[in-house]
Amino acid sequence: MGSGIAGLYVAIRCHELGLRPTLVTKATLEESNTRYAQGGIAAAIGPGDSPAQHLADTVRAGAGLVDRSRARILVGEAPARIADLVRLGVPFDTIDGHVALGREAAHHRSRIVHAGGDATGLHVEETLKHRALDLGIDLSERTQLLRVTSQGPDGVRAVVGRSTGGSVSEIETGAVVLATGGAGSLYSQSSNPWVATGDGIAVAALAGALLADMEFVQFHPTVFAHRGAPRYLMTEAIRGEGALLRNRAGERFLPRYHREAEMAPRDIVSRAIVAEMERTRTDCVYLDATGIPREKLWARFPTICHFLQQHGIDPTREGIPVTPAAHFLIGGVATDAVGRSSLRGLWACGEVAATGVHGANRLASNSLLEGVVFGERVARHLRSRAWSGPPRPRRLVAVALPDGDAAEESLLARREIRRRLWHDVGILRNGPALEASAERFQTLLQRFGPEDPESAPLGGTAHAALVALCIAQAAHERTESRGVHYRTDFPRPRPAWALHIGVEVERPQRSKRANR
């Protein structure tokens, strides 16, 4: 389920390993977050670099919550997965016959492989898409995931989806791999495409799978902020090439907030930008790339330069208006080291999964890497039926599924969810606002849920409300600040909270329904 880098890679590798995959996706095959990824993929393949150094940067960015054993897998298998992508045809950029390597925030080495300058995701997506088509893999486009069904000890046996025409169909299967991406577009300010609504997370939770780390939503610090224009990502690789952040008065401000300034981790840069906008009473700051030679800027970031040109901005002469926006959901379906969820027969990889490799704050360009590293492990393990699943977290939050009535979809309700997530469950959080939003999400879930969630799929607004509720309740539970999760009422990290929070859905008692 899903056609980003994780879904396409798993499908291709399953086919190569002699399995018969069917790939189902919500929109068209190429529509995913992967397509819009600019920076690249992190891998320790350059001179003077090593997996140990990549691990150190990953752990440092993760604010004390990185699962070191999983992160060692991520960085240790990275070079082999880059080689696999090259084998599949991804045209990574080279200089004098060697792979070109960029640098991004919180990396202490240049280790970001990229393609087409700043069009890495597009090249990866197109290459894997055409490879899947050439292999003749069964495809089902424009099909929204509604639920997965399980039967006894064999676990998940089918998926139920709805086409754009409204027809509902069931696909029987021996295993389901969720690669449906994150939930960034549930926020009113987001770098994500419209498809990133957390459906896979909601469906897994409703089927009984454990979620984890839902409070950790990463906000990208530099997203284009121009009236009437889309929230287009300005990759931090631009800062890696020497661009600076300035306020409206032209002052460079980040050195006042962190010693690493423009190369500090994303959560720190995002909060610094918010603080600077509040201090100067402005609605954006400016990314100043005028110090980068024109030829180099256009060669390294051609997609961004063309985009800015279309909106009347010359980045070689003037600052680029930017603000933070929701970018990546660190949490998701809890998995083990081979992608197994807590529900037998259900695997997950990519942004939909909570592997533990990102801790409380993802290191730049580890996301596409996570999709292929754990995608490879999922594909290889699918030939086996051994099952254990992830360990249960030390702390659990129960999200109650209300005993509600069915209702029609509501555009106003979706807008309210997006607005509340951005304002109350965003970059800066506090207990009363989190509690109020969680209560409202619960009300919306009750209103838009089906009469019998065990026999009828949720979908649409109810899925959005459920995922929003999971994020808000986990954020309310974590009474500290750590990584991307910042509470103004608990502004410091607390040693007692150096743990992962699990989230489980509790269904209403069936006896209530029988007495209606």
Of the given ranges (129-143, 325-339, 429-443, 449-463), which has the lowest mean pLDDT?
449-463
Specify if 439 maps to a domain: no
What was the pLDDT predicted at 506?
82
Tokens 């699990």 found at: 502
Q: Count CB-CB contacts under 10 A for residue 279.
A: 10
Of the given ranges (123-137, 298-312, 447-461), which has the lowest mean pLDDT?
447-461
Residue 310 and residue 362 share a domain = no
The catalytic residue among 35, 231, 266, 420 is: 266
Query: What is the pTM assigned to this prediction?
Result: 0.91
Residue 130 and residue 25 share a domain = yes
What was the pLDDT predicted at 182?
95
Specify if 231 maps to a domain: yes
Is pLDDT larger for residue 73 or for residue 395? Answer: 73
What was the pLDDT predicted at 445?
87
What was the pLDDT predicted at 217?
97
What was the pLDDT predicted at 450?
54
Tell me: pLDDT of 155 over 90. Answer: no
Specify if 48 maps to a domain: yes
* Mean of all residue pLDDT scores within the chain: 90
Question: Residue 383, class by beta-carbon neighbours within 10 Å (0-12 exposed, 13-18 middle, 19+ buried)?
Answer: exposed
Of the given ranges (5-19, 36-50, 449-463), which has the lowest mean pLDDT?
449-463
* Calpha distance 245→493 (Å, rounded): 27
Which residues lie across from 321 on neighbouring strands?
286
Specify if 36 maps to a domain: yes
Residue 251 and residue 145 share a domain = no
Q: Count CB-CB contacts under 10 A for residue 255.
A: 13
Tell me: pLDDT of 516 over 50. Answer: no
Q: Which residues contact 356 (CB under 8 A, 6 or more apart)?
A: 65, 66, 67, 70, 71, 212, 213, 500
Please give the tally of structural domains in the chain.
Answer: 2
Residue 141 and residue 9 share a domain = yes
* Calpha distance 252→262 (Å, rounded): 10
Is pLDDT larger for residue 394 or for residue 483? Answer: 483
What was the pLDDT predicted at 509?
60
Tell me: pLDDT of 246 over 90. Answer: yes
482 in catalytic set: no
Specify if 296 maps to a domain: yes
Tell me: pLDDT of 152 over 50. Answer: yes
Q: Which residues contact 385 (CB under 8 A, 6 or more apart)?
A: none
Tell me: pLDDT of 309 over 50. Answer: yes
Residue in 243, 242, 274, 241 with CA at minimum distance from that of residue 257: 274
Residue 367 and residue 308 share a domain = no
**Helix/strand/coil for 308:** helix
How would residue 356 be classed by pLDDT, with cut points 50, 70 and 90? Answer: very high
What was the pLDDT predicted at 408?
42
What was the pLDDT predicted at 198?
94
Residue 152 and residue 12 share a domain = yes
Residue 81 and residue 45 share a domain = yes
What was the pLDDT predicted at 24?
92
Is pLDDT larger for residue 498 or for residue 144? Answer: 498
Name the token pair of 474: 């986990």
Residue 28 and residue 118 share a domain = yes
What is the largest distance, in Å, between two alpha-carbon atoms of the chain? Answer: 75
Return the half-sphere exposure (C-beta side, CA atoms, 13 A cut-off) of residue 108.
15
Tell me: pLDDT of 336 over 50. Answer: yes
Specify if 190 maps to a domain: no
Residue in 169, 242, 161 with CA at minimum distance from that of residue 203: 161
Residue 155 and residue 23 share a domain = yes
What was the pLDDT predicted at 291?
95
Q: 263-299: per-residue pLDDT in tens?
A: 998 899 999 999 999 999 999 999 999 999 999 999 9
Of the given ranges (32-36, 155-159, 178-182, 399-403), which has the lowest mean pLDDT?
399-403
Specify if 280 maps to a domain: yes
CATH at 139: 3.50.50.60
Residue 319 and residue 334 share a domain = no
Residue 334 and residue 281 share a domain = no
Specify if 272 maps to a domain: yes
Tell me: pLDDT of 490 over 60. Answer: yes
Residue 109 and residue 11 share a domain = yes
Domain with 49, as residue range(s), is 5-164+327-381
